[in-house]
Structure 1
Amino acid sequence: MRDNQTILAYLQVTAHTRPFLASCYERIENRRASQHAYNNAERFIYGLNLGDEYLQSSLHTPLSVQPLLLYYSLTHYLKSLLLTVDPGYPATAKVLAHGLSTRKRKRQHYRFLEDDIRIQPNGLFPYAARHLFAFETTEEKVSMDELLRPLPFMSWIYEYKNLQTDSTGEPWPELLAHFAILYNLSMLVRYEGEWWGEMEQLRDRDDYVFITQFLKESSNRIPLLIAEWLKGQFHQSGLEN
């Protein structure tokens, strides 16, 4: 009943959100489904609102600010999604950390595609991976190349650059890939200002092409992926009829 363009707006109305959350909690056999739905509706809506606002702001800011705004946007969206499967989220402070880490000081001759992030045992990333996508990985770290390469909108750059890889790892769910890449880009903006400024000015590095293409497409893909996930929950709830 709801398409991807309207479901986010539809669920930002309390009268729609409460029965939606109640149905989500009833499916997981929570005995206090109605009460949790009542208590969580505003938090759920607030997360979607902030996700929208950060994303819209990213469309009108310089390149150096976009990774931060898109990362915050996706963070708030994911927290709202988690409220549909875990009425008690967040139960502890442990789940509020990023859940990822990266090397603060970059190596000489740093290349973005070769950089990697490490997956932490606690925090938003592993919690969302388990509860939203039933996704577990045995990898302790993953490179930007491994995350970017499977994304459909990046394929033409890889073909143009004729880049090869030996990676055989399983592709991540796309929302998780966006989260990890944006986390790393936001860390670059915060802690590697000289490198970032040089990349922007020169614009002749492969890094610039890959980063700008990803940021451009990520701003389009994030709300669509969030809406698709919520639409799946909507379908399972039986509220479409």
Structure 2
Amino acid sequence: MYQAVHTIMCENPTKKMWDSYLYFESEPTTKAFLQQTYEKQNIPKSNVYAFHNASKFIYYIKQARQYYFSAAESDILVQPLLLYYGMVSLLKAYVLTRDPHYPSNTRVLQHGVTSRKIKRNYYSLAEDEVRVQKEGLLPYLYTFLSKEPLQEKYRLQDLLAIIPELQAAYQRLYKHASLTSVSLSSHRNFERLYTIFYLPDFVLDNVHLTYASFIHYLNRYNQGEAYFAASSLEAPRGIIRLEWHHPEKIHVTESGNGFENILFLHNYKGSFFYKTQAGKNHTIPEVVIHYMIMYVLGMLCRYETERWGEIVFSFMSEDMYMIQEFLTLSARKFPNLVYDLLLQERYIFYTE
């Protein structure tokens, strides 16, 4: 999906990311961008659609920016709602680049998800569920992101488990690991294109496989031209040494799609993680995960105001820790994820 990866060093990554969105707030550059995007998809009359959609696209971006900036200045009592509608505006901008007729009907303007009615006597964020509807923004967006079918419902703890930046908080709160960090070798072999990387050896126990069988297991989940191979060199005790091969990329950090394997994730700083728990959430794009979680939090603060107040202002709920971690992360990462989708390239805004 992503053609390249760019690392942009800056003093303030969040500001630099939003400043990069200014490219889309100019009518000439937006028209050119939309026309080029439509032409790549072989959409007829690309120039006409670009002309008609430019203003709509610009206002989606400007509205999203205002929602996010307002959320940054707002109390947590209303913050999830502002962030959610900021997400919606950004996703509408992306969908418009895939479908020049969007919205073609009112059904695609619905949320596309719903959450179960909250019981009055007890609430647990981890055990809450989000259900996917047949129509609406989420299922329509998903058609442009993945060919795998969406499940009927998702438990929030399972969604939180596959967000890399939340792993430390996840382990502390739920007492087990769902991801483990990948250690990359910085060595580059210009004669043979491969990356050496290391994993803790307990990953073999998790899937009950030998080292050789684990290589085959990883290769079953490849989604591109890359593949994994065993290393001929022994690794230090407690870890395993593997090789990642690609016909064009010298090192995995140069690949816009990372390992090109659904068992591996990367955070917004470019570090990689391996999923220690295989499950049905393998193929969910992270923008979809953020959207579903933020929908639940937004509905909580909008329709269950008293319950939401008890969660965020009392000392009785363990959910507050994870909620705050997620809100902080999503405010920074989600616009970055959509920016990557718009340009079909991965951008890492990073400070030392």
Q: Fold match, TM over 0.5? A: yes
Q: Pick the structure with more helix per residue.
A: 1
Could you say what secondary structure the match of 2:172 adopts?
A: helix
Tell me if 1:103 matches 2:215.
no
Q: Could you say which residue in structure 1 is the equivalent of 2:215?
A: none
How far does residue 11 in structure 1 lie from its aligned partner after superposition? 1.5
Change (3 A) 1:213 1:103: same
Tell me if 1:217 matches 2:229.
no
In 1, the alpha carbon distance for the partners of 2:309 and 2:281 equals: 33
Q: Could you say which residue in structure 2 is the equivalent of 1:38?
A: 51
Change (3 A) 1:138 1:69: closer
In 2, the alpha carbon distance for the partners of 1:161 and 1:77 equals: 31
Q: Could you say which residue in structure 2 is the equivalent of 1:115?
A: 128
Query: 5+ unaligned residues in a row in structure 1: which ranges?
Result: 235-241
In 1, the alpha carbon distance for the partners of 2:95 and 2:32 equals: 16
Change (3 A) 1:119 1:25: same
Q: Which amino acid aligns with 1:61?
A: S
Q: Which amino acid aligns with 1:26?
A: E
Tell me if 1:142 matches 2:154.
yes
The equivalences for 1:8-87 within 5 A come to 8-87=21-100
In 2, the alpha carbon distance for the partners of 1:146 and 1:207 equals: 15
In 2, the alpha carbon distance for the partners of 1:161 and 1:48 equals: 35
Could you say what secondary structure the match of 1:22 adopts?
A: helix
How far does residue 162 in structure 1 lie from its aligned partner after superposition? 4.5
How far does residue 23 in structure 1 lie from its aligned partner after superposition? 1.0
Q: Could you say which residue in structure 2 is the equivalent of 1:187?
A: 299
How far does residue 31 in structure 1 lie from its aligned partner after superposition? 1.7
Q: Which amino acid aligns with 2:149?
A: T
How far does residue 7 in structure 1 lie from its aligned partner after superposition? 3.5
Decide whether the 8 Å contact of 2:287 with 2:334 is kept in 1: yes
In 1, the alpha carbon distance for the partners of 2:21 and 2:291 equals: 19
**Cα displacement string for residues 180-207 of structure 1 (whole angstroms, at most 9, x for unaligned residues):** 1111101111121121111122234221
In 2, the alpha carbon distance for the partners of 1:118 and 1:29 equals: 34
Decide whether the 8 Å contact of 1:55 with 1:70 is kept in 2: yes
Q: Could you say which residue in structure 1 is the equivalent of 2:267?
A: none
Change (3 A) 1:195 1:135: farther
Please tell me whether Structure 1 or Structure 2 has the larger radius of gyration of its CA atoms. Answer: 2
Q: Could you say which residue in structure 2 is the equivalent of 1:239?
A: none
In 2, the alpha carbon distance for the partners of 1:162 and 1:197 equals: 23
In 2, the alpha carbon distance for the partners of 1:145 and 1:117 equals: 11
In 1, the alpha carbon distance for the partners of 2:290 and 2:39 equals: 30
Q: Could you say which residue in structure 2 is the equivalent of 1:170?
A: 281
How far does residue 120 in structure 1 lie from its aligned partner after superposition? 0.4
**Structural RMSD (CA):** 2.2
TM-score, normalised with respect to structure 2: 0.62
Could you say what secondary structure the match of 1:104 adopts?
A: coil
- Identity fraction in percent: 33
Decide whether the 8 Å contact of 1:146 with 1:167 is kept in 2: no
In 2, the alpha carbon distance for the partners of 1:233 and 1:79 equals: 19
Query: 5+ unaligned residues in a row in structure 2: which ranges?
Result: 1-5, 9-15, 179-276, 347-352
**Cα displacement string for residues 39-83 of structure 1 (whole angstroms, at most 9, x for unaligned residues):** 000000100001110001000111011100000000000000011
In 2, the alpha carbon distance for the partners of 1:19 and 1:126 equals: 28
Decide whether the 8 Å contact of 2:158 with 2:281 is kept in 1: no
In 1, the alpha carbon distance for the partners of 2:150 and 2:341 equals: 24
Q: Which amino acid aligns with 2:55?
A: E
In 1, the alpha carbon distance for the partners of 2:67 and 2:302 equals: 17
- Report the count of equivalent residues: 234
Decide whether the 8 Å contact of 2:170 with 2:322 is kept in 1: no
In 2, the alpha carbon distance for the partners of 1:135 and 1:177 equals: 16
Could you say what secondary structure the match of 1:101 adopts?
A: strand
Q: Which amino acid aligns with 1:73?
A: G
Q: Which moved more, 1:87-96 or 1:190-199?
A: 190-199
TM-score, normalised with respect to structure 1: 0.90
In 1, the alpha carbon distance for the partners of 2:174 and 2:343 equals: 37
Decide whether the 8 Å contact of 2:34 with 2:50 is kept in 1: yes
